[in-house]
C-alpha cells in the first residue's frame, strides 16, 4: 500500500503521515526500491488510532503515550485513565474560558443598538476597562525595577 492509499484508508493526510514519521510518533515505513513508502494493515490500524485520538483533541505528545500504552500488552489501565481524565480536565478548562468570553460578549452585544447610531457599549467597554493583571490569559508580565506608571 502506498502512502496515498494508507491516507485514504486511515483518514490521515499523506503530509501528516510523513510528519508523524519524522517526529518518530510512528516508526519509519519500509521503502520500495524506488523509495516509495509501503504500508500494511497494521500501519493503517495505527494511523486510524492516531486519527481518532487527534479527533478527541489529544496532542501529538499525548498520542505518543497512548500509542506506547496501546502496544504494551501489560500496561495498566490506570495510566490510560489518568491521561484521559487529565485531558478531560483540560478540555473543561478551555470550555469554561470560552464560556466566560461568550458571556461577556453576549452581555455587551445585548446593550448595543446595532443600528446606524454610533453609540456602542461594546467599543466603549473595550476602551474603558482597566486591565486586571490577575486575570491575564497566558500573560507573564515581567516585573520592572523602577515600577511606576508615568
Residues 15-44 that bind a copy of itself (CB under 8 A): none
Closest CA to 47 of 7, 5, 1: 7
Number of shown-chain residues binding a copy of itself (CB under 8 A): 77
The DSSP symbol for 81 reads: H
The footprint of a copy of itself on residues 95-114 (CB under 8 A) is 95, 98-99, 101-102, 104-106, 108-109, 112-114
Name which of DNA, a copy of itself, none residue 61 binds, using a CB cut-off of 5 to 8 Å depending on partner kind: DNA
* Angle of helix 3-10 versus helix 14-22 axis, rounded to 10: 100
Asked if 4 touches DNA (CB under 7 A), the answer is yes
The footprint of DNA on residues 50-79 (CB under 7 A) is 54, 59-61
Q: Of the candidates 9, 11, 19, 70, which one interacts with DNA according to CB under 7 A?
A: 19
The span from the CA of 36 to the CA of 34, in Å, is 6
Question: Is residue 46 within 8 Å of 64, Cβ to Cβ?
Answer: no
| Other beta carbons within 10 Å of 63 | 21
Residues that bind DNA (CB under 7 A): 2-5, 13-16, 18-19, 29, 32-37, 54, 59-61, 138-140, 144-146
Amino acid at each position: 500500500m502506498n502512502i496515498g492509499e494508507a491516507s485514504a484508508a486511515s483518514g490521515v493526510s499523506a503530509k501528516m503521515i510523513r510528519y508523524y514519521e519524522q517526529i518518530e510518533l510512528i516508526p519509519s515505513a519500509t521503502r520500495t526500491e524506488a523509495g516509495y513508502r509501503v504500508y500494511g494493515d497494521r500501519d493503517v490500524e495505527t494511523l486510524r488510532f492516531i486519527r481518532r485520538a487527534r479527533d478527541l483533541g489529544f496532542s501529538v505528545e499525548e498520542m505518543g503515550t497512548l500509542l506506547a500504552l496501546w502496544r504494551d500488552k501489560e500496561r495498566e489501565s490506570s495510566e490510560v485513565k489518568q491521561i484521559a481524565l487529565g485531558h478531560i480536565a483540560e478540555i473543561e478548562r478551555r470550555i469554561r474560558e470560552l464560556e466566560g468570553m461568550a458571556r461577556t460578549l453576549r452581555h455587551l452585544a445585548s446593550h448595543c443598538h446595532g443600528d446606524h447610531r454610533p453609540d456602542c457599549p461594546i467599543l466603549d467597554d473595550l476602551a474603558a476597562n482597566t486591565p486586571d493583571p490577575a486575570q491575564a490569559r497566558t500573560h507573564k508580565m515581567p516585573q520592572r525595577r523602577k515600577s511606576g506608571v508615568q
